[in-house]
Structure 1
Amino acid sequence: MHPRLTFALSVIEGLAIFAYAFSGFIEARRRRLDAVGTFLVALVTAFGGGTVRDVLLGHRPFYWVEHETYVIAIFAMSFVAPFVLRMASRVFSERALLVADAVGLGLFSISGTSIALDAGMPWFIAALMGVVTGVFGGVIRDVLCNEMPLILRDSRPYATCALVGCWLYLLLAWLAVDPVYSVIVATVFILVARLVTFKLDVRLPH
């Protein structure tokens, strides 16, 4: 993998981890969980998708095992997050959850696609791995919080945005666009597509 791409993906995965952890903190606050529950929800939200991807790709050790610093940071933040979020209104929390989810979706989907490509996966499988990486953290979070996963109860494009963005990344890679620019463009596309389709209330046909 190109050194610049490796660095870019490291930065992106770090941002994605904290974006999804933040969405986990918000959901835990809404459920009035204690620090232990908050940590667990944030942890599975941040690393659930990447862990499922690593299981499917046979990658060991898991990403969060290799990078325990992120786990320690989320653990420490779990004791502070409830007090910080307590000052936010319910409306703000819902908007923040949407934005954090969209950021994590974009960042994780493209990093997952790139990792799958690096593992020698064909394009279609690489795109699916990207969607799994971007979506499954939120799925596990919702299941733990006793909710139907967002991907199933909301007909507005979610996984679809991730899938299109992953294919955009693959297209840019095929066109030999600079890998770093390809990652940035595809990530921003997913983020903007998710927020715009939500704002305009675009829904997939039932």
Structure 2
Amino acid sequence: MHPRLTLALAIMEAIAILSYAISGLVEARTKRLDGVGTFLVAMATAFGGGTVRDILLDRRPFSWVEHQWYPIVIFVLCCFAPLVLRTFDRVINERVLLVTDAIGLGLFSISGTSRALDAQMPWFVASMMGVATGVFGGIIRDVICNEVPLILRDSRPYATCALVGCWFYLLLDYINFDTVYSVLIATGFILVARLVTFKLDVRLPH
């Protein structure tokens, strides 16, 4: 893997993990979970998709095991979560959850696709791997919080945005576009697509 791409993916995963952890904290807060429950939800949300990806790619050790400072940061964040969430109570709402979830969706989906390509996976498998990386954290979060997963109850494009973005990345890779810019552009596409379709209330047919 190109060194610049390796660095870009590392930065992206760190941002995605933090974004998903925050969405997990917000969801745990709405369910009035205790500290242990909050940490569990944040961990599952942040690492669920990446762990599924690593299992499917037979990649060891898992990303969060290899980089132990990820769960350490989340643990510290959870320790101060009540104070932080109370302080920013006016801005921690459904909109914040939507934005952090969209950021995590874009970053994880493209990083998952890139790592699948690096493992010599076919295009279709790589795109599915990217979608799984992007959505499984949110699915596990919702299941733990006793909610029907957002991907199933919301007809607005979610996994669809991730899938299109992954194929956009594959196209950029096929034409030998700069790898780092390909990752950033495709990630931005998923983020914007998710927010725009939500804002415009675009819905998929039943």
The question of a shared fold, defined as TM-score above 0.5 by the shorter chain, is answered with: yes
C-alpha distance in 2 between matches for 1:175 and 1:19: 31
Letter aligned with residue 147 of structure 1: E
C-alpha distance in 2 between matches for 1:117 and 1:37: 35
Letter aligned with residue 41 of structure 1: V
Would you say the 8 A contact 1:24–1:42 is kept in 2?
Answer: yes
Q: TM-score, normalised by structure 1?
A: 0.98
Q: Give the Å deviation of 1:143.
A: 0.1
Aligned to 1:5: 5
Aligned to 1:53: 53
Aligned to 2:140: 140
C-alpha distance in 2 between matches for 1:141 and 1:79: 19
Letter aligned with residue 101 of structure 1: D
* Runs of 5+ consecutive residues of structure 1 not aligned to the other structure: none
Q: Deviations over 1:71-117 (max 9, x none)?
A: 00100110111221124447741110000000000000000000000
Letter aligned with residue 106 of structure 2: G
C-alpha distance in 1 between matches for 2:21 and 2:78: 9
Would you say the 8 A contact 2:26–2:92 is kept in 1?
Answer: no
Q: Percent of aligned pairs with the same residue?
A: 72
C-alpha distance in 2 between matches for 1:81 and 1:171: 41
Letter aligned with residue 39 of structure 1: F
The 5-angstrom pairing of residues 11-160 of structure 1 reads 11-89=11-89, 92-160=92-160
Would you say the 8 A contact 1:50–1:133 is kept in 2?
Answer: yes
C-alpha distance in 2 between matches for 1:21 and 1:115: 21
Letter aligned with residue 133 of structure 2: T
Aligned to 2:204: 204
Would you say the 8 A contact 2:173–2:179 is kept in 1?
Answer: yes
Would you say the 8 A contact 2:102–2:195 is kept in 1?
Answer: yes
Letter aligned with residue 138 of structure 1: G
Q: TM-score, normalised by structure 2?
A: 0.98
Q: Deviations over 1:50-88 (max 9, x none)?
A: 001111111111111001001001001101112211244
Provide the aligned length of Structure 1 versus Structure 2: 206
* Runs of 5+ consecutive residues of structure 2 not aligned to the other structure: none
Aligned to 1:86, what secondary structure does the other structure show? helix
RMSD: 1.0
C-alpha distance in 2 between matches for 1:45 and 1:92: 17
Q: Give the Å deviation of 1:40.
A: 0.6
Aligned to 2:173: 173
Aligned to 2:183: 183
Aligned to 2:156, what secondary structure does the other structure show? coil
Letter aligned with residue 24 of structure 1: G
Q: Which moved more, 1:77-86 or 1:9-18?
A: 77-86
Letter aligned with residue 36 of structure 2: V
Would you say the 8 A contact 1:25–1:82 is kept in 2?
Answer: no
Aligned to 2:80, what secondary structure does the other structure show? helix
Would you say the 8 A contact 1:161–1:194 is kept in 2?
Answer: yes
C-alpha distance in 1 between matches for 2:78 and 2:66: 21
